[in-house]
Amino acid sequence: MKGKGKGVWRPKLGLLLLFISWSFFFLAGLFGSMLFSQDVNGVRSQPRLLESVEEYSPMPHGETGESSVDMIPFQVLSWKPRALYFPRFATAEQCQSIIEMAKSHLRPSTLALRQGETDESTKGTRTSSGTFISASEDKTGILDFVERKIAKATMIPRSHGEAFNILRYEIGQRYNSHYDAFNPAEYGPQTSQRVASFLLYLSDVEEGGETMFPFEHDLNIGTGYDYKKCIGLKVKPQRGDGLLFYSVFPNGTIDRTSLHGSCPVIAGEKWVATKWIRDEQQDD
């Protein structure tokens, strides 16, 4: 009986050991190939990234040109309106310096009134506080640096920009949806037009405070939109990041999708430096 038992069990045990060994080597090979594939992909992806950030030889330039090639990263957020996002446009230290130079000069923000409007009838539309500071007033040179960088990003001469409007939004404060461009039919004749706006976020915001575009891609137009509602494309403030959007088309007509506002701050505090850019040179 013992010899018969050995003859029956020995082949089964051998098959079991063979199956276990085969499974082990199969799984090991599969795992190893996955790791190898990841390593290969990782090695191959790096040169592609490096190739896209290669150094360029500068071209001969004119009297007003520059001797180096600049690369300012950006992301297109929308084509309607034309809105671009610039990560890490300024450093945390630069942002804090701008906040410090503005703190003692803050006053309740005001509005450019349409024909027939009054301060009383527009009360609550804009509840932030702010102050205007030109680059020439800043002895640290930080606003001058930021202004030059904005000119490069927009390709609009810095002489066309208004002074920086440094704004603070505390909890509950907001700016209802509005246009930065001035419609002559509502505001009367204008000597120049605001064509673009650049927002440099000077602080993070715990909750709320987004820049909103409720008419993005023609949404909510003609629906009886409540201008206090915080809807549509929303850009969350992050310290040092920039947001550029254009208020008019190249032919000079106002882009109705450039309607925008500032959502109420729910937690924290929002600081932003706004640069309005016009189609004519501005006095400093």
Same domain, 164 and 221: yes
Q: Is the pLDDT of residue 210 over 60?
A: yes
- At 284, the pLDDT band (50, 70, 90 cuts) reads low
Same domain, 26 and 146: no
Q: CATH number of the domain that 88 lies in?
A: 2.60.120.620
d(CA 72, CA 89): 8
Please tell me the total count of domains within the chain: 2
Collapsing DSSP to helix, strand or coil, 267 comes out as strand
C-alpha distances out from residue 129 to 27, 167, 269, Å: 64, 6, 12
Question: What pLDDT digit, counting tens, does each position of 194-206 carry?
Answer: 999 999 999 999 9
Same domain, 124 and 37: no
Same domain, 112 and 35: no
Averaged over 123-145, what is the pLDDT? 97
Establish whether the linkage from the previous residue to 184 is cis, with ω within 30° of 0: no
Q: Is the pTM of this model over 0.75?
A: yes
What is the extent of the structural domain holding 22?
18-47
- Would you say residue 58 lies in a domain? no
The residue type of 68 is: S
